[in-house]
Amino acid sequence: MTTTDWEARYQSGDMPWEKGEGSPGLADFLRDRPDLPRGSVLVPGCGTGHDARTWARHGFTPTGLDIAPSAIRIATERTAAEGLNASFRLGDFLREPASERFDWVFEHTLFCAIQPADRDLYAESVHRWLRPGGNFLAIHYMIRDVEGPPFGCTQEELIERFKSRFEWVAGWVPRSYPNRAGLELMIWWRRRAE
Ligand SMILES: C[S@@+](CC[C@H](N)C(=O)[O-])C[C@H]1O[C@@H](n2cnc3c(N)ncnc32)[C@H](O)[C@@H]1O
């Protein structure tokens, strides 16, 4: 198993996931639900912070977490330049104790980016960082590739991995970036109380 050197990818500019804007599916989700209670949001694997800034524009309090120092630096600079209320910090979502428990955890191309062998750890981590009753909103990249990142997954695998700790709220195919149209699956889960 080879692990990805994420910092090296930022430093060399090898970032095909970087689309210059936040996820269209997230923008639609928040636009269509103006009455959601505002709260704290963890964006693990936040990259350069586009999605965290989308949450901030809608009145939430996002924290972006990323393992790559360059991602955190760029995210912090861009957010300050826009005067938005989002914070960013360096950290390993899979292996760190939760510094606080959030109302929301938002996933966007982190699950498909980690080693598939770490997927149990990922599900445990979402549970650890969310308060009981908190929301896990995920935008999964539904490709078949086995040589990643990104690594493929299926809807069946996602349901199997998350259903014991999370209650299904809704799932749909969102609006996507042009080169991902029809390839994303958005799932809204709620953390079970235990
Ligand atoms: C494919 S990129 C997606 C970035 C961003 N979510 C986006 O969609 O633009 C995956 C990101 O996850 C970060 N990452 C990988 N493993 C991580 C971990 N264990 N903890 C926190 N961040 C991680 C990488 O540095 C990278 O920024």
Q: Which of 66, 73, 94 to mutate to test the pocket of ligand 1 (most atoms within 8 A of CB)?
A: 66
Residue ranges of alpha helices (H) inside 100-143 are 119-129
Q: Find the mean pLDDT for residues 6-33.
A: 97
Write the DSSP string, 132-188.
EEEEEEEEEE----SSSSSPP--HHHHHHHHTTTEEEEEEEPPP--GGGTT-EEEEE
Q: What pLDDT digit, counting tens, does each position of 39-84 carry?
A: 999 999 999 999 999 999 999 999 999 999 999 999 999 999 999 9
> What's the pLDDT at 35?
97
Q: For the purposes of burial, counting CB atoms within 10 Å of the CB of 121, is it exposed (0-12), middle (13-18) or buried (19 or more)?
A: middle
Tell me which architecture the domain covering 38-191 has in CATH. 3-Layer(aba) Sandwich (3.40)
Closest Cα to atom 18 of ligand 1: 92
Q: Which residues form ligand 1's pocket by a CB distance below 6 Å?
A: 6, 17-18, 44-47, 65-68, 71, 92-94, 108-110, 113-114
Q: Which of 6, 26, 124 to mutate to test the pocket of ligand 1 (most atoms within 8 A of CB)?
A: 6
Which residues are CB-neighbours of 127 under 8 A, at least 6 positions away? 165, 166, 191
**What are the domain boundaries of the chain?**
38-191
Residue 8 pLDDT exceeds 80: yes
Q: What pLDDT digit, counting tens, does each position of 124-140 carry?
A: 999 999 999 999 999 99
Q: What pLDDT digit, counting tens, does each position of 148-193 carry?
A: 899 999 999 999 999 999 999 999 999 999 989 999 999 999 999 8
Q: pTM of the predicted model, to two decimals?
A: 0.97
Residue 146 pLDDT exceeds 90: no
Backbone phi, then psi, for 183, in 5-degree steps?
-105, 5
Closest Cα to atom 12 of ligand 1: 45
Q: For the purposes of burial, counting CB atoms within 10 Å of the CB of 138, is it exposed (0-12), middle (13-18) or buried (19 or more)?
A: buried
